[in-house]
Structure 1
Amino acid sequence: MDSTQLLKGVLDSAVLAVLVDEDGYGYDIVRRLRVAGFEDIGDASVYGTLRRLYANGYLTSYVVPSESGPHRKYYGVNASGRAQLKESTATWRAFASSMDRLLGAERGERV
């Protein structure tokens, strides 16, 4: 199965999850996602997701000057983003539970 299609469906939630406890800038968010197991995540996908989440009102942003390079735009999760993450987490858990039952039943296992 091509995991890129699965990733597209959960990227918003994954980005919110890596930002919920600590703000981050673009490349830092990409790095955190890769450390979390999304090794094949594309930079452009994450940057597009950040722009969309910000436009939808789930993120705040601010610029931090840097003495060693360009300024960095940081993103943080606001109250709407936290509510969205809570909702998408519940949806994901219900979906994953259904898939676990279905795949387990197919092999004669109980999950």
Structure 2
Amino acid sequence: MNPDAIRGHLDGMLLAVLEDEPLHGYGIIEALHRRSGGTLDMPTGTVYPALRRLERAHWIDGSWSTVGGRKRRTYTLSRAGRQELVRRRSEWIRFSGIVGSVLGGTT
């Protein structure tokens, strides 16, 4: 998939994969891959900076844990993040409907 097509939507997708359960960074990448039917292979260099940005915005909360002797950061969706996800979903539905109308070829 063209990375430009994702630009502007990554934050909403990250919030969406955290909606059901807390996940660590690699788990988030796996969830994006799985939920996209294998289409999205997001590099860590894209996902981790976005997670830090979402944490600074207080849309997600991160906490450190040690699993198997390795430290990892697990992220959960905050109350503000849930509100942001609702807003972004609404925005996406409106946007995708507009693009569908234009690209659908109907007059």
Residue in structure 2 matched with residue 5 of structure 1 by the alignment:
4
CA drift at 1:48 = 0.8
Which aligned pairs between 1:1-111 and structure 2 lie closer than 5 A?
3-37=2-36, 38-66=39-67, 68-104=68-104, 106=105, 108=106
Rg: which structure is higher? 1
Structure 2 Cα separation of the partners of residues 15 and 89 of structure 1: 12
CA drift at 1:103 = 1.3
TM (norm. structure 1) is 0.87
TM (norm. structure 2) is 0.90
2:62 is paired with a residue of what secondary structure?
strand
Q: Which protein has the bigger helix share?
A: 1
2:83 is paired with a residue of what secondary structure?
helix
Structure 2 Cα separation of the partners of residues 45 and 69 of structure 1: 26
- The alignment covers a number of residue pairs equal to 105
Give % identity. Answer: 29
Runs of 4+ in 1 over 6 A off after TM superposition: none
Letter in 2 for 1:57: H
Structure 1 unmatched ranges of 5 or more: none
| Kept in 1: contact 2:29–2:41 (CA 8 A) | no
Q: Which protein has the bigger strand share?
A: 2
Letter in 1 for 2:46: S
CA drift at 1:9 = 1.3
Name the Cα RMSD after superposition: 1.5
